Structure 1
Amino acid sequence: MAPPTANDPWLAGRHFGIVIDAGSSGSRLQIYSWKDPRSIRIEKNSELAYKLPKVEKGTRDSDLWVTKVEPGLSSLADNPQDVGAYLRPLLSHAREHVPPSLQKDTPLFLLATAGMRLLPPKKQAEILLETCRFLVTHSNFKIEDASSVGPCGSSVRIITGEEEGLFGWIAVNYLMDGFSGSSKDRTTYGFLDMGGASTQIAFEPSAESQKMTKDLIDVRLRLLGGHEIHHKVFVTTWLGYGTNQARERYVGKTITDYESVQNGHEHNDYHDDDDFDEHHMIPDPCLPKNLELDETPVHLTDPSTSHLKKKHKMLGTGSFEQCMKKTEPLLNTTKPCPDTPCLMNGVHVPPIDFSVSHFIGVSEYWYSSEHIFGLGGAYDFVQYERAASAFCSRDWSNILKEHEESRSQHHLGGDGEVVKDGKVVDAGQWGPQVEIPRLQMQCFKAAWIANVLHEGIKMPRLVDPGGNDTTDGEKVAAEADKKGLGRPTFQSLDTVGDIAISWTLGKMVLEASKEVPALGKTAKPLVDPIDDIEDIEHFPIQPIRPPFLSLDGIEDRLSPHLPSSLTRSSLGFSPVLFLFYVFVIFFVLAFG
């Protein structure tokens, strides 16, 4: 489909922005658009003056604003020369749907996440350099010049989990009107995100807590009337606390504990088997009853436990309550806290007043609530616990029978993790090839989510408007009968309206906000929150900068060895940056 033409009314005064979310299982290109803030007439005292630019899908066809390629960009670690072929379908899609006359003013960002973070710095740098080269030479989109951030400035880079959290926090509050209105008393929503490897939290502490917290990030946005709003946000991430890695840690601990008990009671020749003895069934309350799974623990570092890394057979005993008890220690809530207060794993988090702060959970918080239990949205612990207990205790054969009946009647639905060659490569409607892994892990994931919420970040199971709360499970059922509990403390969401909640949306809201004219000429330019940290070297969150791409650092080391006539001060420009451009041009001519 051709992009809209110049005389199309929908296109009048419209700006575009593109984000490629380079994740671990694939890269997803999303096209956003918004009306030029400078073309919007704002009447005096208008409510519109206190709103952010309206960011929408970048195509009128709701399905064409996004496209994806697989697997992840990080899979090219040993073949960076293939980056061009990998990105070509994404770039072609963008060029097809953004009018050619607007492409030079359309910012394009490729922001890589978990998969790229795991690569060695040299591999990261090689992929980023090749990505930059391809995007610059094969498109007319707006891409930043080389800088100390990277070969394409901040247009092509790896972002931290904390940056994902900050952009997600912006997206949630944008969609939930957390920023709108002129009232200073308006409270923003907290943001919770959980994937397979990590979980993030981002929220605005109370005014009292802000006075006692030093590790806050200033999030600045500009409303359509030119007024700048500031929010002090705390964000942190827990690596290894996503559902998949939590499961791996749980499996390792369960097998170790089981072996310890067995060795303490009788001689066990189980270790001598080349594969595994299927007569040794390790009971697992986190699997539906009578489900058998072969598991191989990966989180064992003690050489004396190497024999445990063989396959073991887990047998589901189906108890949500026991699963909650067995997974709770994995939160590490008793780990020493160097900077109080702490939540999980000794990580400092400012106090959270849940009677005031309300949270939105996305990704796994939504999947684990909605796609089996049908309980997405406002969170009710009593309903959630009952649904999880009922599901976990069901016999696996019964679950499979219902799955087959639903499939034959085309009643399947949900996030549907599509597994290919052992890797999650897509998410769509459930079907026979995609629903089974979700059903197998639903009991564990439901318990892990509940433990993270209530034992991890200490969210009360119930909060009433007066601020009274309880974490005592025995009292929850009685308290739940009370009426008028007000705005829910926690909601799991996937979309608001027809817009998906995504950190990429938060990034685009920030970009659109940057286009709003400031009220004064001396106003400080809007930047990404991480770039607003003044003393970044001593801040706990450090941006990811592959070492040999740090041009300023190279120049600092070379300058003392250069003749005075070849320094930046004598030439009026950076000789290192000049040589870098020469290298890039040579690379393009030689290999383009």
Structure 2
Amino acid sequence: MAPPLANDPWLAGRHFGIVIDAGSSGSRLQVYSWRDPRSLNIPKGSPLASKLPKVEKGTKDDDLWVTKVEPGLSSLENDPEAVGTYLRPLLSHARDLIPPSLHKDTPLFLLATAGMRLLSPKKQAQILRETCRFLVTHSNFKIDEPSDIGPCGSSVRIITGEEEGLFGWIAVNYLMDGFSASSQDRTTYGFLDMGGASTQIAFEPSKKHQDGTKDLIDVRLRLLGGEEIHHKVFVTTWLGYGTNQARERYVGAAITKYDTARAADDRDDDRDDEEHHIVPDPCLPKGLMLTESPVHATNPETKHLMKSHKLLGTGSFEQCMKRTAPLLNSSKPCPDTPCLMNGVHVPPIDFSVSHFIGVSEYWYSSEHIFDLGGAYDYVQYERAASNFCSRDWAGILKEHEESRVQHRLGGDGEVEEGGKVVAAGQWGPQVELPRLQMQCFKAAWIANVLHEGIKMPRIVDPGGNSTSDDGDKVEEEAAKKGLGRPTFQSMDSVGDIAISWTLGKMVLEASKEVPPLVKAAKPILDPIDDIENPDEFPIKPIRPPFLSLDGLEERITPHLPSSLSRNSLGFSPVLFLLYLTIFVLLIIACPMRRVLRASCLRSVRSLTKRDTMYGDMEEGNSKLGNGRPPSPTSATFGGRWLYPVRRVFFGNSRPTPRSPLSVVTSNKPILRHMMPNGSGLANANGSVRASPTRSFTLPTGGFAATASTTQYISRSPSPGPSFDDASLVPGQMQAQASLMTSRSRNASQINLSSMAPRPGAISRASSSYHVNGMEME
């Protein structure tokens, strides 16, 4: 479908918004639209000033505003790179509906729910990162910049069950006209939602109960006139209390009870593993047999718990109510009173004031089979459920097949002619076999959640509704008796707009665009992001760890001015500077790679030589293992290593090299000038150079000796060595003469007088010894 033409009057001043509901079974894209609040000329005192922006479908004439892909996004947990292929049809559909000129101003949200919550944080982060990358690179829609929330800010994230409940609460009250300037003085509608995995409740406690409740969320919305309204809302979720997971828990409890009874009767437990055990189940229609395994085993030590069992329906709604009631865990300890199911704190609910609307499973289980959607009457509901559960499964199956062939519509297929019901039990095509199989259980579970769970009274008007047979008249009769709105009603849509938490999210986005009365007013935020002390609040947003360059951008971007943002520049300034820094470092490192490599090799070789030399010296051998002194470049490692850096910053001037270490050649062995006190070396002009020596004590005589691993070349033109004999005492001179005239097995022979060294003599000495101021090599 081609997008609307630019000259279409319907497009004048219209804004769009996109929400992708990434659920556990599939991802549903919904396109919404609304008139730009800034383009509306609303006179002061106009009724429109007290209304919220009107959010509508994102298409003009048809139902193409919604499309879906299956399975859920969480199914890509082991293949996150396939996110692009998965989302491409949804993104293409949105591009076709919205004019290209409006893409950059159209916010896009992908908000994941239950399926993604069950994944590990690492897998969550991988999928969300790939999702963000695909949406940013393949569309021009408005997507948030990286932040602490995620790589695409709040545009791509996982929402909690509480956030689902809050958005649903906004949607319900928006459609039921619960928001206005005068709504501050009356209680809004409560919201109940039940899916397959969890159930949520969101409601605004009465004024007298708000002060004693500390975990309320402030929901702020801005009306078209610029006035801001506030509502204190309590929201919580029960994971595992959806119909599917409740059924799994029920099966585990039923099989446990059955096997425990068998063991108590001393029956034979050693049967073939393939044998199925038949368990009576009052929550299935009479005669229906299903093979199920106890996913939620309540007693792991029972031998048969992990085997599949056959459950045979006995069709008793009353017994099913009794069997499912313990699954509510209403007796669980309550750390923060008052509590409802599973020890979860919920403020007191005044049902004479608070009225609730239920969606999803509350609607399906009431309307699709019983045709009782809308105002709720427990008496009628119980009668319809009891009749259905007690029916024979074969008869139900036959009527379903006839209905499928004839494509009859309606909940339980009541066919009216002339105002009279002429046929019943004919279900529409939307009712599938799994719905018929589980209808008895789901009906009992919903009734228990409403009445035993959240404590809704079964009959609000004693003697009024108890004998009513017409559910359509419940609301009318309640109004006549002054009871006001019905306590509970199930709904699916209002007009042509479906009740969905995605609608609540778009109402919030449209409200953000309304100009405030005061320019310094605080911006409208999502309720979960508007909590004053989030660390102390019991509801925590889901924040997977994003360990990547995007994470660095997320932390830095909020501290940059708006002119340096990704949207303003068209690229990320943080990543640009990071890549530029890496490029500069590579340019500096390239000229140094050879020096770096050579230095590493010399360091390794030097360490090897030193270890060998020290080992030889301790054994009395002073020569190096390879017969050569250390490399003369080791002393200048720092200068040569830093030379390329200096060349980049200070020009082509080489640093002044240090004096190189001496190398004793075979034809000109040069002797060192030694200070008489043995503390250093002196050249011909008398300058003293410290000798890098280490000291040790000779075993006899008490002489102090130093072993040197280096030799120095004298730069003076002195023809030969000389000693300052005046500084030696006679005993020391005799000791020196004795030592210098003796030949050591481990040292080179040298002449201490003025005679020249023998041609061709090679100095093998690698050590020198100071003995009371004298040196022997």
**Shorter-chain TM-score range:** 0.7 to 0.9
Q: How do 1:38-437 and structure 2 match up within 5 A?
A: 38-182=38-182, 184-269=184-269, 272-277=271-276, 280-300=277-297, 302-305=299-302, 307-412=304-409, 431=429, 435-437=432-434
* Contact 2:122/2:544, CA 8 A, preserved across alignment: yes
Tell me the SS of whatever aligns to 1:548: coil
Structure 2: distance between partners of 1:273 and 1:413: 46
Q: How do 1:568-587 and structure 2 match up within 5 A?
A: 578-579=574-575
C-alpha displacement at 1:522, in angstroms? 1.4
Structure 2: distance between partners of 1:550 and 1:362: 40
C-alpha displacement at 1:305, in angstroms? 3.1
Alignment match, 1:457? 454
* Contact 2:252/2:298, CA 8 A, preserved across alignment: no
Structure 1: distance between partners of 2:53 and 2:97: 21
Alignment match, 1:530? 528
* Contact 1:300/1:306, CA 8 A, preserved across alignment: no
C-alpha displacement at 1:475, in angstroms? 9.8
* Contact 2:145/2:153, CA 8 A, preserved across alignment: yes
Which region of structure 1 is more displaced relative to structure 2, 316-325 or 179-188? 179-188
Structure 1: distance between partners of 2:183 and 2:204: 16
Structure 1: distance between partners of 2:101 and 2:302: 63
C-alpha displacement at 1:177, in angstroms? 0.3
**Deviation per CA, 1:460-500, whole angstroms, max 9, x where unpaired?**
11224xxxx79xxx994599998634310000000000000
Structure 2: distance between partners of 1:305 and 1:75: 33
Tell me the SS of whatever aligns to 1:462: coil
Structure 2: distance between partners of 1:517 and 1:256: 61
C-alpha displacement at 1:439, in angstroms? 0.3
* Contact 1:551/1:577, CA 8 A, preserved across alignment: no
Alignment match, 2:487? 489
Structure 1: distance between partners of 2:550 and 2:162: 24
Structure 1: distance between partners of 2:221 and 2:356: 21
Larger Rg: 2
Tell me the SS of whatever aligns to 2:220: strand
Alignment match, 2:712? none
Structure 2: distance between partners of 1:63 and 1:91: 17
* Contact 1:150/1:550, CA 8 A, preserved across alignment: no
What TM-score, normalized to structure 2? 0.67
Amino acid at match of 2:539: I
Structure 2: distance between partners of 1:321 and 1:68: 39
Tell me the SS of whatever aligns to 2:238: strand
**Deviation per CA, 1:543-575, whole angstroms, max 9, x where unpaired?**
00002359999799x99xxxxxxxx89xx999x
* Contact 1:151/1:549, CA 8 A, preserved across alignment: no
Structure 1: distance between partners of 2:228 and 2:324: 44
**Deviation per CA, 1:519-547, whole angstroms, max 9, x where unpaired?**
00111000000011111112111000002
Q: How do 1:550-569 and structure 2 match up within 5 A?
A: none
Amino acid at match of 2:540: Q
* Contact 1:461/1:476, CA 8 A, preserved across alignment: no
**Deviation per CA, 1:259-288, whole angstroms, max 9, x where unpaired?**
11111113233x5322223xx421111000
Structure 2: distance between partners of 1:249 and 1:23: 22
Structure 1: distance between partners of 2:409 and 2:268: 45
Structure 1: distance between partners of 2:553 and 2:34: 39
Tell me the SS of whatever aligns to 2:236: strand
C-alpha displacement at 1:582, in angstroms? 6.2
**Deviation per CA, 1:227-276, whole angstroms, max 9, x where unpaired?**
0000000000000000000000000000100111111113233x532222
C-alpha displacement at 1:350, in angstroms? 0.2
Q: Judging changes above 3 Å, is the alpha-carbon distance between structure 1 residues 581 and 431 closer, same or farther for their aligned structure 2 residues?
A: farther
Alignment match, 2:738? none
How many percent of aligned residue pairs carry the same amino acid? 77
Structure 1: distance between partners of 2:43 and 2:303: 71
**Deviation per CA, 1:372-398, whole angstroms, max 9, x where unpaired?**
000000000010000000000101111
C-alpha displacement at 1:186, in angstroms? 2.6
Q: Judging changes above 3 Å, is the alpha-carbon distance between structure 1 residues 240 and 534 closer, same or farther for their aligned structure 2 residues?
A: same
Q: How do 1:12-31 and structure 2 match up within 5 A?
A: 12-31=12-31
Tell me the SS of whatever aligns to 1:373: coil
Alignment match, 1:439? 436
* Contact 1:27/1:72, CA 8 A, preserved across alignment: yes
Higher relative contact order (CA closer than 8 Å, sequence separation 6+): 1
Amino acid at match of 2:364: Y
Are 1:521 and 2:519 matched, yes or no? yes
Q: Judging changes above 3 Å, is the alpha-carbon distance between structure 1 residues 581 and 67 closer, same or farther for their aligned structure 2 residues?
A: farther
C-alpha displacement at 1:309, in angstroms? 1.8
* Contact 1:148/1:551, CA 8 A, preserved across alignment: no
Tell me the SS of whatever aligns to 2:263: helix
Alignment match, 1:589? none
* Contact 2:168/2:504, CA 8 A, preserved across alignment: yes
Q: Judging changes above 3 Å, is the alpha-carbon distance between structure 1 residues 551 and 154 closer, same or farther for their aligned structure 2 residues?
A: farther
Structure 2: distance between partners of 1:316 and 1:477: 30
C-alpha displacement at 1:579, in angstroms? 4.4
Q: Judging changes above 3 Å, is the alpha-carbon distance between structure 1 residues 183 and 167 closer, same or farther for their aligned structure 2 residues?
A: closer
* Contact 1:148/1:552, CA 8 A, preserved across alignment: no
Q: Over aligned residues, Cα RMSD in angstroms?
A: 2.7
**Deviation per CA, 1:268-318, whole angstroms, max 9, x where unpaired?**
33x5322223xx421111000111110111012654136312110011110
Q: Judging changes above 3 Å, is the alpha-carbon distance between structure 1 residues 262 and 138 closer, same or farther for their aligned structure 2 residues?
A: same
* Contact 2:5/2:99, CA 8 A, preserved across alignment: yes
